[in-house]
Each structure stands twice: as C-alpha cells, then as structure tokens.
Chains A and B, each alone.
Chain A
Amino acid sequence: RKEVEQDPGPFNVPEGATVAFNCTYSNSASQSFFWYRQDCRKEPKLLMSVYSSGNEDGRFTAQLNRASQYISLLIRDSKLSDSATYLCVVNSPGNTGKLIFGQGTTLQVKP
C-alpha cells in the first residue's frame, strides 16, 4: 500500500465549478500535511498547509481528519489558471522534514 494515496483523475470541470480532492495516508504518526501544486514540467510549489481545525485561503479550503487519516482540498469557483496537478504531501515522522508525496490529482478547468 502506498504511504499517500490520491485519485489521479483527471478531473475535468467547467469554470466556476467547485471541485474536491481527497487523499489518505498510512502512517498515523505523521504530524504535518500539505497540498502542493505542480504545473506541467515545473517544480512543485506549496499551496497550503493543512491543519486539524481546517484552514481556508481564498477559494481553497483544506481539511484534515486524523482519525480517518484523510486529507481534502476544496476549490471553489474554479478558474482556468487552477489547471494543474495537486499533490497531497505528508511529512514523514521523525525530525528530518522528509516529505512523502502522493501521485497527484490532475485538474483541468475548461471555459
């Protein structure tokens, strides 16, 4: 079983749609969680950290359920510029900062 699992998609949605991505992780000792965004042939960039209380950044909302080991990302009012691959990322337990990446979910927003 992969340490971080995501539905690879692709998700094809019209502009203005709301879309949700889900992710599960296997190591219950994990402490830090993130969503990264990766554009085609570019490096990953941090989109947002994910906290137990849930957090929102504009049109983006992230949720963490530690009991279910489940992470989600909700994008409201999708824009064409949101088209990218969204990577669910978990910090490996320990003190190294080593990141464990899901395979990513591809989003294509269409006019």
Chain B
Amino acid sequence: GAGVSQSPSNKVTEKGKDVELRCDPISGHTALYWYRQSLGQGLEFLIYFQGNSAPDKSGLPSDRFSAERTGGSVSTLTIQRTQQEDSAVYLCASSTRGGGGEQFFGPGTRLTVL
C-alpha cells in the first residue's frame, strides 16, 4: 500500500520568503508528526496532530512556524520569513494512533534557504 508522501521533495528559497511543505499520511492513520533533521543534528520533534487538533506544538522553534491538518488527513507545515537556519530536511510521520504506535516516515522535504 501507499506510504507517507511528502511534497516537494526539494525546495530552494530565498531568505525572507514563505514556504509550505505538505504531508500525506497513510490512509486511516489518525496521528501525524512533523520532525526536522538539520545537518549534523539528530531528528527533532516539531508538532503532533491527533485528528485535526494539535495537542503538542512544543517543538515549533518560533512563531514563524505553523502547521495545520484538515480532514484528519493532509497536513501543511508553513514557515514564514524563512531564515538560513531553517535549512533542514523536514520529515513527516504517521501512526495508527498516538501514544506509541509505530511511526512510518515519509521521504522528507529538503529545504535550502539561500
């Protein structure tokens, strides 16, 4: 069956521009997570969705970052006024449930801010 998909796979943008990253989770997975992986860093948690609500946004690094999920399915991560330190691979994962079910990761979006 189809796994988690993300788009675009690569995004190059100029400092100060806004970007939107999309995640399509596995059908039927109610839990959705965003992580990012910077060069030389481990993966860091950004936000968790259960259905359309986000009970844990504790990992969003600043108010330039926001995310939403609609229809209990697709999620969009938006970064406003991008900075060079936002350059990273943004990974989305989904799970049949929150709280410990196996998380399946998408291929990621590689964001480069010039």
A100 contacts across to B, CB distance below 8 A: 45
- CA gap between A16 and B15 in the complex, in Å: 48
Inter-subunit contact B99/A43 (CB<8 Å) = no
B50 contacts across to A, CB distance below 8 A: 96
User: How many residue pairs, one in A and one in B, have C-beta atoms under 8 Å apart?
Assistant: 57
- CA gap between A91 and B43 in the complex, in Å: 13
With A43-B105, A97-B99 given, is the CB distance from A87 to B31 under 8 Å? Answer: no
Inter-subunit contact A97/B103 (CB<8 Å) = yes
Known: A43-B108, A97-B99, A97-B100. 10 other contacts (CB 8 A): A95-B98, A96-B55, A96-B99, A97-B33, A98-B33, A98-B48, A98-B56, A99-B103, A101-B43, A103-B42
Inter-subunit contact B105/A44 (CB<8 Å) = yes
Interface string of B38-50 (1 = CB under 8 A from A): 0001111100101
Q: How many residues of B contact A (CB 8 A)?
A: 26
User: Which residue of chain A has the shortest Cβ distance to B107 in the bound complex?
Assistant: A43
How many chain A residues sit at the interface, stated as a range, is: 20 to 34
Inter-subunit contact A45/B43 (CB<8 Å) = no
A31 contacts across to B, CB distance below 8 A: 100
B99 contacts across to A, CB distance below 8 A: 95-97
With A95-B99, A96-B55 given, is the CB distance from A101 to B42 under 8 Å? Answer: yes
Candidates B59, B100, B105; contact of A32 at CB < 8 Å: B100
User: Which residue of chain A has the shortest Cβ distance to B92 in the bound complex?
Assistant: A43
User: Which residue of chain B has the shortest Cβ distance to A92 in the bound complex?
Assistant: B45
Candidates B43, B59, B101, B105; contact of A97 at CB < 8 Å: B101
Contacting residues of chain B (86-112) with chain A, CB-CB under 8 angstroms: 91, 95, 97-103, 105-108
